[in-house]
């Protein structure tokens, strides 16, 4: 297909503003699916973790045909921790659909993704989604979006953006917010009219810039990118380069284009199209495939640096090796380095120990998704508490990462939220009343102080608070804050927890385990009601005698244990504690399992 009949567009927005649902409707109404074909919701969220959590984690490509045009569409994540996925795919597209919720308006991630699009001079089309919501305010949201464009320094052409009003759930779009029926034709027409066709000389030497890496069990590594110049043919010899070092010779073994939800093999790809290439060994994101007679590396977008780091280490607990398939340091090293090849916003560094590695990412969720993925793949390891990455300024001052936080709460909970954030060194930027008695608070807060706050927010707002955050920048260190105010309940010995032992221990605090759970010495079984750690014997059994007394053999009433998720475990542990990850279990433990060893270490300090 000629380049002037191609449109490359990315869908960007804040989390839960309807990107993946919009792609569903565009696929349905373009005739991709058969009339009676059963198609699940959010069909682009193909990853198990994405479907379980209801969020998009990886950017994905698809395409639809409309009125003789081919629309290459990239669905992107909305969560701030996966901003690297948004940054890298911007090189593949010429325009963006900026989705904004007709009720919530512009949120922190809206600002982030729009800034990246404007920096690369991408043509925006604003889509005000969810206009069918009862409290929708489309006109105000358009004004907010225009203000955001001006604040981010958009050019005159970018400020003259088209606006499409839509309900992705109900499958209609319109140029007027008063419309309540129809189809997606106005959105398709807006893309064709306003998003420019890809530029490039089809007769010039070949250039393909790769922005993503996929893997297939049959053909191996697959590079996904855009044909910036020339034409690609199956079997063509190419030179792979990133501008550093000598280029290496490879061959385009197979070429694919995207059609709906499938990759379709093709013999030739033209300039401007988004393609997948198989047969290139050790291909990395940001590399360029060039004609053998004209080697010119294309510049790749600069990815923001990670802000949070954790230590991944070999599991050395008494239960090590029971459940995992990959348990050695070699397995762990290979898996982490393989992740870095495709996840370009993540960093892995060696440490002084051969059994531990420093892994850095955009946030706790970014790292916890990697942990959960590895766990499901059969890996067994241990991780430390997340730590923020500090920097030194030009004058030698200590700088720390700052997050911009937006909190939507009911008016009666504002006082509790402001008190909680104030104690965490947060600074209030803006506060405004929303509809139906809700208030929106905008803060800047150190990233280290934000860890563990979500649970407190749910408590303070009785489950009604909604929080989102995005990286704001590095600022001078704001001072120390009080850490965890409660200690841990630690198992005294290795064995099986009994109802009798748990009954006698539950007065000490909140338990995390139930009866018949196997534990080992040094494992964390609960949260202490005091500030110090307490060793408890959850394996204690009742002594059996031939004496009986009235009431002594009544049924023991146990308080149901609190089962923590992976993210809650990472927020709970202290600096001297670890989270043990296995395919079947998530346990918390002390770094030093022996009570005597911990006492000796405390005495030395």
pLDDT of amino acid 41: 57
Q: What is the pLDDT of residues 116-132, one digit of tens each?
A: 888 888 899 999 999 98
Alpha-carbon distances of 157 from 160, 269, 408, 588, 589, rounded to whole Å: 5, 31, 33, 55, 57
Q: Which residue has the tokens 């977008």?
A: 301
Low-confidence ranges of the chain (pLDDT < 70): 1, 31-47, 50-52, 54, 544-555
C-alpha closest to that of 458 among 517, 511, 505, 417:
417
Q: Which long-range contacts (CB under 8 A, 24 or more apart) does 185-190 make?
A: 187/26, 187/97, 187/127, 188/26, 188/30, 188/66, 188/67, 188/71, 190/125, 190/162, 190/164
Helices (H) and strands (E) in the chain, counts: 15, 35
Q: CB–CB of 458/465 below 8 Å? A: yes
User: What is d(CA 275, CA 257) in angstroms, rounded to the nearest whole number?
Assistant: 5
435 three-state secondary structure: helix
511 contacts: CB under 8 Å, gap ≥ 6: 489, 502, 505, 525, 526, 559, 561, 562
User: What is d(CA 227, CA 222) in angstroms, rounded to the nearest whole number?
Assistant: 15
Q: In 30-103, which ranges are continuous DSSP H helix?
A: 48-53, 83-89
C-alpha closest to that of 206 among 274, 94, 294:
294
C-alpha closest to that of 226 among 288, 280, 178, 171:
288
pLDDT of amino acid 456: 84
C-alpha closest to that of 219 among 192, 244, 256:
256
Count the residues in the chain.
Answer: 605
Q: Find the helix packing angle between 414-422 and 453-460, rounded to 10°.
A: 150
Q: What is the pLDDT of residues 367-419, one digit of tens each?
A: 998 999 999 999 999 999 999 999 888 888 899 999 888 888 888 889 999 99
Beta strand 6-13 pairing with 288-291: unpaired
pLDDT of amino acid 46: 60
Q: b or e along 517-538 (b: 16 or more beta carbons within 10 Å of the residue's beta carbon)?
A: bbbbbbbbbbbbeeeebbebbb
C-alpha closest to that of 309 among 441, 508, 451, 167:
451
pLDDT of amino acid 358: 94
Residue 472's CB is within 10 A of a number of other CB atoms, namely 19
pLDDT of amino acid 545: 65
354 contacts: CB under 8 Å, gap ≥ 6: 329
**Dihedral sign for Cα atoms in the order 589, 594, 596, 598:** negative
Q: What is the mean pLDDT of the chain?
A: 86
Alpha-carbon distances of 466 from 104, 136, 408, 456, 570, rounded to whole Å: 11, 18, 5, 12, 21
| φ, ψ (nearest 5 deg) of residue 31 | 85, 20
Q: What is the pLDDT of residues 265-290, one digit of tens each?
A: 888 888 888 899 988 877 888 889 99
Q: CB–CB of 526/511 below 8 Å? A: yes
Cα 406–chain centre separation: 18
Q: What is the pLDDT of residues 515-534, one digit of tens each?
A: 999 999 999 999 999 888 99
pLDDT of amino acid 547: 59
């Amino acid at each position: 297909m000629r380049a002037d009949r191609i449109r490359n567009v990315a869908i960007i927005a804040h989390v839960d503003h309807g990107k993946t649902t919009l792609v569903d409707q565009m696929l349905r109404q373009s005739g991709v699916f058969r009339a009676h074909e059963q198609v699940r919701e959010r069909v682009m969220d193909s990853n198990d973790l994405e479907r379980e959590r209801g969020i998009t984690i990886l950017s994905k490509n698809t395409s639809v045909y409309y009125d003789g045009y081919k629309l290459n569409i990239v669905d992107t994540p909305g969560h701030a921790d996966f901003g690297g996925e948004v940054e890298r795919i911007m090189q593949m597209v010429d325009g963006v659909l900026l989705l904004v919720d007709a009720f919530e308006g512009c949120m922190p991630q809206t600002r982030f993704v729009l800034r990246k699009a404007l920096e690369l001079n991408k043509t925006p089309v604003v889509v005000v989604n969810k206009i069918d919501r009862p409290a929708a305010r489309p006109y105000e949201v358009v004004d907010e979006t225009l203000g955001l464009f001006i604040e981010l320094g958009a050019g005159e052409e970018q400020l003259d953006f088209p606006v499409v009003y839509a309900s992705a759930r109900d499958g209609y779009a319109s140029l007027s917010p008063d419309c309540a029926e129809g189809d997606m034709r106005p959105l398709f027409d807006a893309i064709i009219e306003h998003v420019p066709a890809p530029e490039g000389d089809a007769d010039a030497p070949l250039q393909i810039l790769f922005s993503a890496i996929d893997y297939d069990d049959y053909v191996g590594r697959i590079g996904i990118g855009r044909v910036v110049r020339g034409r690609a043919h199956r079997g063509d010899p190419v030179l792979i380069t990133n501008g550093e070092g000598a280029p290496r010779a490879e061959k385009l073994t197979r070429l694919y284009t995207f059609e709906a939800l499938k990759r379709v093999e093709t013999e030739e790809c033209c300039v401007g199209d988004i393609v997948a290439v198989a047969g290139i060994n050790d291909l990395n994101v940001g590399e360029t495939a060039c004609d053998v007679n004209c080697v010119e590396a294309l510049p790749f977008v600069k990815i923001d640096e990670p802000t949070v780091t954790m230590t991944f280490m070999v599991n050395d607990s008494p239960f090590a090796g029971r459940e995992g398939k990959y348990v050695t340091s070699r397995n762990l090293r290979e898996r982490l380095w393989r992740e870095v090849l495709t996840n370009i916003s993540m960093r892995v560094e060696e440490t002084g120990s051969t059994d531990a590695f420093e892994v850095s990412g955009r946030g706790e969720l970014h790292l916890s998704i990697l942990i959960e993925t590895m766990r499901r793949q059969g890996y067994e390891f241990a991780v430390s508490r997340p730590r923020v990455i500090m920097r030194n300024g030009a004058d030698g001052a200590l700088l720390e990462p700052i997050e911009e936080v937006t909190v939507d709460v009911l008016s009666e909970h504002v006082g509790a939220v402001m008190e909680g954030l104030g104690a965490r060194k947060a600074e209030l930027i803006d506060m405004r009343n929303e509809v139906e008695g809700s208030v929106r608070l905008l803060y800047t807060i150190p990233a280290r102080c934000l860890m563990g706050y979500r649970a407190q927010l749910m408590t303070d707002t009785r489950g009604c608070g909604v929080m989102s955050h995005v990286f704001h920048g590095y600022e001078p260190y704001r001072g120390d804050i009080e850490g965890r105010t409660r200690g841990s309940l630690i198992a005294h010995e290795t064995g099986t927890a009994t109802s009798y032992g748990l009954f006698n221990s539950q007065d000490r605090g909140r338990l995390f385990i139930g009866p018949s759970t196997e534990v080992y010495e040094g494992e964390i079984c609960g949260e202490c009601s005091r500030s110090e750690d307490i060793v408890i014997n959850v394996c204690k059994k009742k002594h059996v005698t031939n004496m009986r007394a009235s009431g002594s053999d009544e049924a023991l009433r146990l308080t149901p244990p609190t089962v923590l998720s992976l993210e809650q475990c990472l927020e709970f542990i202290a600096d001297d504690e670890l989270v043990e990850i296995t395919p079947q279990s998530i346990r918390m433990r002390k770094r030093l399992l022996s009570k005597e060893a911990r006492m000796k270490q405390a005495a030395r300090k």
